Chains A and B, each alone.
Chain A
């Protein structure tokens, strides 16, 4: 079973618009991470947010974490066609060492 579940499964937007993806999880976590995967490639780490943090920024990325709702969101502002990819959240559970559990991903398409 998957710890993280992304929503929506697919998202299509126009270049310049913002894209928001959500992730829900089930157990207590140490941290939550977001990854990006271009078609046919490996995953690239985007951002890590710890359980005691509520918001984190990196360039055009903004991640929020609500541990009371066991949910996180990834916002990509001013999207570009090059942002087209699949985005995955992954959780590191409290009692699971460095193991990550991945969600099924959101496929984002940014149309030029």
Chain B
């Protein structure tokens, strides 16, 4: 069955380190999204892509980057992790969005 997966599911890293969160979908969707979820803020859009080589900034893109080299994957990179980036990260694909299970990231 087609699906969307995220890895790792949990990650602890140190301030200043580069971290990459993976998102992989097998539906062949063009649209992919990254969100972070924090208490009191709901889900906030970080970056999104409408197709290969297309990337766009969302509401809270500072400190994050994405690349789209193929249809299936949209990895999210934290160039230099900060404690403010401790959060749960969700990837989604398509317009009626199918969500991955989430990655809980802790930056110490």
Contact = CB atoms under 8 A, between A and B. Distances in A.
A92 B107 CA distance: 32
B46 to A, nearest CB: 12
Given A2-B42, A48-B96, A88-B42, A41 B101 contact: yes
Interface string A78-112: 00000000001010100001111111110000000
Interface of A: 2, 33, 35, 40-45, 48, 88, 90, 92, 97-105
Closest 3 CB pairs of A and B: A42-B99, A98-B95, A102-B43
A36 to B, nearest CB: 11
Given A97-B50, A101-B45, A104-B40, A92 B99 contact: no
A74 to B, nearest CB: 15
B45 A100 contact: yes
Contacts of A44: 99
A65 B7 CA distance: 37
Which residue, B44, B92, B95, B102, has most C-beta atoms of chain A within 10 A? B95
B42 A103 contact: yes
Contact of B50 (A41, A98, A105): A98
B102 A99 contact: no
